[in-house]
A and B are shown apart, each in its own frame.
Chain A
Amino acid sequence: MKNQMTARDYELISAYLDNQLGSKERAQFEARLKTDLMLQKELHEIGNTRLMVRSLPKLRAPRNYYITSKVTSGARETPLPIRRSLRLAPTMGIVSALATILLVLVIFGDKLLSTTGPVALAPAPIAPQETAVIQEQAQSKEAPSEAPTEAAPVMLMGAPTMASPTPPAEELRIGETGIPTPTTVYLNAFPPTSTPEDRETLSDRQTEQASGCEEYAGSGINPTSPGLVCATPTATSPLFLESLLPSSTTTPTVTATPTATVMLSPYLENLPPTWTPTPSATPTSTPTSTATPSPSPTPSPTPTETPPAVEVTQITGEGAAAGITAQSQDQGPAYPAQAGEQPTSTTPTGPDISFMSYVILAIEVSLAVIAVIAGIAAIILRIQAGR
């Protein structure tokens, strides 16, 4: 016999009393009743309770609840909540739609402005070059401890050290017109103690450096010089910087020998002209391997002492990048200053940018909240009107 009655049992009892069980359920319940005494007892008690409640008299209304015109005049006006719901529902829907459209426009406009913003915020083209200059100085200061990289001398990042002599500058004809773009800048360090013997191997080294430049550029040793491109111009006139050497001869030649020249990226095209070649500035010939000393015909600065810094000579055919100037030795302080130079920019300052972004974000959030709330209100009002 089942002693525990469950809620399901009481539901069956109640439905059985109200004749709400299906035929199958009713048969199962009656079969169980025959054996379950507890179920019989509960069925009896619940049945009596149901009868007592049903025995309550149906009351009569103490009065008539007719609706009069007075009541209806007020009652008819009371559909105001319904009318108001019907009026407000489409209004809320329109508000929600407008807020959504405005939100989309604000987001789109913000994205559009953000994509055009970075252009104005682009760093100065001089940055890589300046970085190269700064790094060069650092390397030159650390010369004793650093081992120069192969083919470095002919590259911007070439940081010749005192320990290893580096080949002199490449040939570059100054004053020659028609030097094509991009501007070719040669950066060389001239060991003050370079000897003719060293210079003898210049041409050999130039060849080596031509290939070495490729390797150097691709080695990623100097990641701060992304604009470096090794090239072997054959038509461009080399600039002869032999005059910078303490003793060297120059032989005017057509540039037939492969020279490891470096053609910088277009960054340097924008460098302001800080030094322009003059016919008398430097000889226009390719340095040869001759060991015959020759007087320096140029008034160009000659390293007369041991400069740890690297001399930079800029030849510009047209336009010049800013920040690079002809440097004599030991102008270390100038480099950082130059490196520190920043081109004038019309970009807004940091605080203004963050303030505008906050304002735009606040507008977007507000529009989103309005759209959601108005949409929910429209739905609720329509449901109420429908009731």
Chain B
Amino acid sequence: MDEIALIQAARGGDLDSFNRLVLAYQDMVYSHAYRMVGEEESADDATQTAFISAYNHINSFRGGSFKAWLLRIVTNACYDELRRRKRRPTVPLEPADEAGEEVESARWMVDPTEQPEDQVERQELQNAIQHCLDNLPEEFRAAVVMVDVQGLDYFEASQASGKPIGTIKSRLARARLRLRDCLNGFSELLPSGFRLK
């Protein structure tokens, strides 16, 4: 069943059809939420909220890119989560391993085929990049995550954010410039070929 048919069935109240759409897009939605809010619990809440909202407003989808439509919903949910977190800051609990010790990253994020040293370096680099993403203004962050993390083109990013293409271009350029300046402080973490300056 193709995406358009699933959407039409979901608009008619078919819950199974909608859940099939959820299954197809939940990784993308969660990934986007995580890159936006920077932590798992908040990303989980934002993802669940986004799918519930998408089901409730399925009739408002009037064609075009369903992916962009979903990303717009989850981006708004992330904005709400960030504002909520600012009002009530929390310290997330780190998941515990089999020994009961906390791990810095979730087990499911670990690539079992990778060397430990490489894993550490990669993880530290990802943490540094995520740290620089967290320091970006929300609208700049959304633009660079949509285009560079999710792989949207400028037109899809414009639809997902509800902003003109020119605005997306400007925000993306300024976001990348700030990321470049931020990552200069983690030069030792960067691969040799990526070391800036």
Contacts and interface: CB of A to CB of B under 8 A. Distances in A.
B44 interface: yes
B22 A66 contact: yes
B5 interface: no
Contact of B174 (A10, A61, A62): A10
A45 B109 contact: no
A46 B55 contact: no
A359 to B, nearest CB: 47
Interface string B152-189: 01100000000000000110111011011001000000
Contacts of A11: 169-170, 173
Contacts of A67: 15, 18-19, 22, 51-52, 55
Nearest to A81: B56
A48 B153 CA distance: 19
A53 B134 CA distance: 13
Query: What is the interface residue range for chain A against chain B?
Result: 35 or more
A115 interface: no
Contacts of A64: 22-23, 26
A53 B149 contact: yes
A218 B129 CA distance: 99
Interface string A49-79: 1111111111111111111010110011011
B90 interface: no
A386 B44 CA distance: 28
Name the residue among A13, A45, A53, A69 with the largest chain B CB count within 10 angstroms.
A53
Nearest to A385: B60
A384 to B, nearest CB: 11
Contacts of B147: 18
Given A14-B169, A56-B35, A49 B23 contact: no
Given A18-B154, A49-B179, A58-B28, A75 B169 contact: no
B96 interface: no
Interface in B11-63: 15, 18-19, 22-23, 26-31, 34-35, 40, 44, 47-48, 51-52, 55-57, 60
A62 B149 contact: no
B179 A65 contact: no
B23 A78 contact: no
Interface in A78-121: 78-79
A78 B53 CA distance: 9
B148 interface: yes
A345 interface: no
Contacts of A57: 109, 126
A46 B177 contact: yes
Interface of A: 7, 10-11, 13-15, 18, 20, 45-46, 48-67, 69, 71-72, 75-76, 78-79, 386-387
Interface of B: 15, 18-19, 22-23, 26-31, 34-35, 40, 44, 47-48, 51-52, 55-57, 60, 106, 108-109, 125-126, 129-130, 133, 144, 147-149, 153-154, 169-170, 172-174, 176-177, 179-180, 183, 190, 193-194, 196-197
List 7 tightest A-B contacts by C-beta distance, closest first.
A14-B173, A61-B30, A59-B31, A53-B148, A61-B26, A11-B173, A49-B180
